[in-house]
Amino acid sequence: MVHLVMFDIDGTLIKSCVFDADCFCEAVRDVTGYELNTDWESYNNITDTGILDEFISQKGLEDQREHLQRSVKEKFIQLVESHLTSSPAREIEGSINFLKYLQSREDVEIAIATGGWEQTAKAKLKSAGFDISGIAFASSTDHCQRVGVMQVAEARCQYQDFVSKTYFGDGVWDKKACEDLAYNFVLVGNKLTHSQQIDHFKNTQQALIHIGIE
């Protein structure tokens, strides 16, 4: 019996929500001249691709959609990489060791599903000291919907017939996606209220209990 344990990145594995959002807003502003609404819950698809696509439609810029998507993404990548050069990303306490521990178990397969774009997501993980080689990975480069990103990540796993599926995330959109896909949701941090919650990954046993394994 194999358990699937999937992770979000920003606010879940690494402390990157603030600078990531700042870089995203700056990229949109520099390319389009418009300010981005940062009430993330107001968007239909809370991923980099989904937010930008909806923003372009809201501003009536559909005729420039392909150009703007490419240009904002390129600018965002530049800004994130520049930030990481001067201020490397930091892990949520214990997350690197927790992933290593899960990888060592024969009854667990881990995956990463993020609403960010692949290049910036992997750059942040590398900066924080993560080695994700051999881990199934999906991002909003693969799908604009968070549910779709999770489905792609699961499909890329080596194993398929999982006895349980757990997702560690930090946002209400993570919780909603888990409800849609019948995943067990574990909240990291305190951005919302949820029955299963951890502040960090330093207590391995506490995290394992939420997964349903020992």
Do 105 and 207 share a structural domain? yes
Q: Of 86, 102, 125, at which residue does a domain stop?
A: 86
**196 exposed, middle or buried (CB, 10 Å; 0-12, 13-18, 19+)?**
middle
Do 97 and 38 share a structural domain? no
Is the CB of residue 201 less than 8 Å from the CB of residue 170? no
Do 11 and 62 share a structural domain? no
Q: Of 30, 65, 86, at which residue does a domain stop?
A: 86
Do 203 and 126 share a structural domain? yes
**CA–CA dist 37, 154 (Å, integer):** 31
Length of the chain: 214
Do 165 and 63 share a structural domain? no
Q: Residues with Cβ < 8 Å from 111, sequence gap 6 or more?
A: 4, 5, 6, 7, 135, 136, 137, 138, 153, 154, 156, 157
- Structural domain harbouring 61: 17-86
Do 102 and 78 share a structural domain? no
Show the tokens assigned to 69: 């998507």
Do 203 and 101 share a structural domain? yes
Q: What's the pLDDT score for residue 214?
A: 86
Q: Of 65, 86, 107, at which residue does a domain stop?
A: 86
**212 exposed, middle or buried (CB, 10 Å; 0-12, 13-18, 19+)?**
exposed
Q: What's the pLDDT score for residue 172?
A: 96
Do 204 and 134 share a structural domain? yes
Whichever domain contains 132, its CATH number is: 3.40.50.1000
pTM to 2 decimal places: 0.96
Do 109 and 82 share a structural domain? no
Mean pLDDT by 10 residues, the chain (214 residues): 97 95 98 96 96 97 96 98 97 98 97 98 98 97 97 96 97 97 98 96 96 93
**CA–CA dist 146, 27 (Å, integer):** 22
Q: What's the pLDDT score for residue 147?
A: 98
Cα-Cα-Cα-Cα torsion 138, 187, 22, 61, nearest 10 degrees, comes to 60
Do 43 and 94 share a structural domain? no
Do 122 and 65 share a structural domain? no
Do 126 and 36 share a structural domain? no
**CA–CA dist 17, 136 (Å, integer):** 22
Q: How many domains does the chain have?
A: 2
